C-alpha cells in the first residue's frame, strides 16, 4: 500500500509551484512587437522573489524587470482551486497599477504547466498561453505566447529563464 496521498497522482495539486518558492535571477527575452511578424528580441535581466500564501494553496512573486529604457516592478499572484484542480495566475504591472490582467487558468501535467485565457491586444481579441517547463531542475523556464486565431497557431513573445540565488546572498536582498 502506498503512503502517498491519492492527490499525489492527480494532475494539478497545491504543491505544483513549490519549486518556485525562493529568490531568483531572471534572464528575459521579449519580442519587441507582438503578432505583427516581428523577429527582434530585447534581452534584459531581472530578479524575482516568490513566497507562499494561503497555506501553500497560493503564492506571490515580486519582480524587478530591468528593461532597456527603464526598469519596473511587477507582481504575479497564483491561487489553486481544489475543486477544479486548476491554478489561476494574475499579473500586475507596476507601470499600470490600476490594471490587473485577466487570469490565465490551467494546471501541471506531465511536468509541464499550461495556462490560458482570452485577452485583448491593441483592441483585438487574442488567446494568451503561459508554459512552465524544466520545473524539476535548477533552471525553470516560463514562456508566454499569443494567438490571434483562437489557439490554432501561437507566437512566443516572452521567455524567462530562472537561476536560483543563494539564500542570504547580497544580490538577493533587493526585494526587502
Q: Where are the domains of the chain?
A: 14-166
CA–CA distance, 153 with 34 (Å, rounded to integer): 13
40-94 pLDDT, tens per residue? 999 999 999 999 999 999 999 999 999 988 999 999 999 999 999 999 999 999 9
Picking from 102, 63, 106, 99, the residue whose alpha carbon sits closest to that of residue 81 is 106
Cell numbers at residue 87, please? Answer: 491554478
Instruction: Compute how many other C-beta atoms are within 10 angstroms of the C-beta atom of residue 131.
Output: 18
Q: Calculate the alpha carbon distances from 167 to 24, 75, 98, 104, 170 in Å.
A: 10, 21, 33, 30, 9
Q: What pLDDT, on the 0 to 100 scale, is given for residue 1?
A: 42
Helix boundaries (H) for the chain = none
**CATH number for the domain whose boundaries are 14-166:** 2.40.128.20
Q: pLDDT at residue 25 above 60?
A: yes
Predicted structure pTM score? 0.89
81-128 pLDDT, tens per residue? 999 999 999 999 999 999 999 999 999 998 899 999 999 999 999 999
Amino acid at each position: 500500500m502506498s503512503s502517498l496521498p491519492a492527490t499525489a497522482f492527480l494532475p494539478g495539486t497545491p504543491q505544483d509551484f513549490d519549486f518556485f518558492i525562493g529568490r531568483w535571477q531572471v534572464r528575459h527575452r521579449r519580442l519587441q512587437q507582438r503578432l505583427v511578424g516581428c523577429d527582434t528580441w530585447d534581452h534584459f535581466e531581472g530578479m524575482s522573489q516568490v513566497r507562499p500564501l494561503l497555506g501553500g494553496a497560493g503564492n506571490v512573486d515580486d519582480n524587478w524587470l530591468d528593461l532597456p529604457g527603464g526598469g519596473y516592478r511587477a507582481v504575479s499572484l497564483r491561487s489553486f482551486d481544489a475543486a477544479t484542480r486548476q491554478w489561476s495566475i494574475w499579473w500586475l504591472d507596476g507601470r499600470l497599477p490600476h490594471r490587473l490582467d485577466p487570469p490565465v487558468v490551467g494546471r501541471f501535467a506531465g511536468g509541464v504547466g499550461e495556462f490560458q485565457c482570452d485577452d485583448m491586444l491593441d483592441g483585438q481579441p487574442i488567446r494568451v498561453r503561459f508554459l512552465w517547463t524544466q520545473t524539476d531542475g535548477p533552471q525553470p523556464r516560463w514562456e508566454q505566447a499569443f494567438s490571434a486565431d483562437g489557439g490554432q497557431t501561437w507566437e512566443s513573445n516572452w521567455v524567462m529563464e530562472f537561476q536560483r540565488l543563494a539564500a542570504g546572498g547580497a544580490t538577493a536582498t533587493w526585494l526587502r
